[in-house]
Amino acid sequence: MRSVGIRMALLLLVASLLACALCGCTAREKKVLLVFSYHAEYTWHAEEARGTQEVLKREGIAFEKFYLDTKRHTSVEWKQQITAEAKERIKEYDPALVMVFDDNACDLVAQHYVGETLPFVFCGVNADPAEYGFPAQNVTGVLERPDFVGSAELLQKLVPGVKEVALLTDDSPSAHGFIEGFADMALPVEISEIHTTNSFEDWQAKVGQLQSEVDAIGLFTYHTIRKQGEEQSMSPDELLQWTLENSVLPEFCPLDFAVEGGALCGVALSAYEQGNIAAEIAVRILEGEKPADVPVAIPEATRSMVNAGRAAALGVVMDEGTLEGIELVD
């Protein structure tokens, strides 16, 4: 009897392994399509991709990237065209799961699949996810909640006299999602104005006007701004450098690439960590968990950053006490 029991157990094990092989039920046999809102050179995306790829490669999961490129190309016609191409790529690639990065990929792609069987994991979403129908039975992910309050507090630590600030940002879905959260913020400074624009000439005029009106400038995204007569958005690095060269006001921004690019300070989220967490969620789903059973994650900002070169240019003096826990970049 014992030998019969052993044989039955072995037969069941073989049948289970065969069934698993036929249905591809392990995460290592799945493939994932990564749909990015913007372009590959966009610093935030590069870090999100690095964090995501680290997990997927570790798990032996195949993946492919698709870029919507909607920061450099902002027209309605482009968005319609690239959305159709993204849907076609999903059909052709036939992934087991799709990851979408930042708001435009949610708006243009993911929300059209809400309630279907194909699972989606979002990453870096600024808006209220309910705007896209998230979370849903097949959708969960990671929210991006930049620490504007902490960034303003860090600015006041560096420049104690700052009381009134203006927020200057591009006119993009990410910016609007960020601005919507202001109602819930207990800010240590007064926001005298929130100015959104996609015009470089308007941005230039506003920076000049603010020099005599506020104590500091808060920045968010500045990647969909175009020069007059041009269809493609200008280089964000060029825009930031122009701003720094034509302003004597201290800047703060809750995005690491802005401080690394020259803005004075910010308490920043890690795009790498966002991608890492989103990929871990994707693995859980590929291994059998239902998206509806995986809570939406909201990572905290972890990098208190000061640009040493900008601090020197503005005459900001920092002692050892001020620098405690702060990452200096230049």
| Tokens encoding 247 | 């302003």
Residue 27: per-residue pLDDT: 53
27-145+272-293 CATH fold: Rossmann fold (3.40.50)
Q: Is the separation of the CB atoms in 109 and 134 below 8 Å?
A: no
Q: Give the Cα separation of 41 and 28 in Å (integer).
A: 28
213-244, pLDDT tens digit by residue? 999 999 999 999 999 999 889 999 999 999 99
pLDDT band at 17 (very low <50, low <70, confident <90, very high): very low
The better pLDDT of the pair 316, 22 is held by: 316
Helices (H), 246-270: 256-261
4-16, pLDDT tens digit by residue? 444 544 444 444 4
The candidate with the shortest Cα–Cα distance to 259, out of 244, 275, 242, 274, is 244
pLDDT band at 329 (very low <50, low <70, confident <90, very high): very high
Residue 18: per-residue pLDDT: 42
Q: Is the separation of the CB atoms in 306 and 158 below 8 Å?
A: yes
Q: Which CATH number is 148-268+303-329 given? A: 3.40.50.2300
pLDDT band at 207 (very low <50, low <70, confident <90, very high): very high
The candidate with the shortest Cα–Cα distance to 284, out of 61, 16, 7, is 61
Residue 173: per-residue pLDDT: 85
Q: Give the Cα separation of 296 and 306 in Å (integer).
A: 30
Domain boundaries for CATH 3.40.50.2300 within the chain: 27-145+272-293, 148-268+303-329
Residue 43: per-residue pLDDT: 84
pTM above 0.75, yes or no: yes
> Residue 312: which H helix or E strand, with range?
helix 308-314
Place of tokens 């690239």: 82
Residue 184: per-residue pLDDT: 77
Tell me: pLDDT of 208 over 90. yes
Residue 102: per-residue pLDDT: 94
Give 193's strand partners. 166
| Tokens encoding 198 | 């996609």
Residue 12: per-residue pLDDT: 46
Residue 242: per-residue pLDDT: 98
pLDDT band at 323 (very low <50, low <70, confident <90, very high): confident
DSSP letter, residue 279: H
41-96, pLDDT tens digit by residue? 888 899 999 999 999 999 999 999 999 999 889 899 999 999 999 999 999 999 99
Place of tokens 């503005």: 314
Instruction: Give the 3-state secondary structure of residue 289.
Output: coil
Beta-strand ranges (E) seen in the chain are 31-36, 62-67, 97-101, 120-125, 139-143, 164-170, 190-197, 216-219, 251-252, 265-268, 303-307, 327-329
State the CB neighbour count (10 A cutoff) for residue 57: 12
Query: 120-134, 175-189, 254-268: lowest mean pLDDT where?
Result: 175-189
Q: How high does pLDDT run on average in the chain?
A: 90
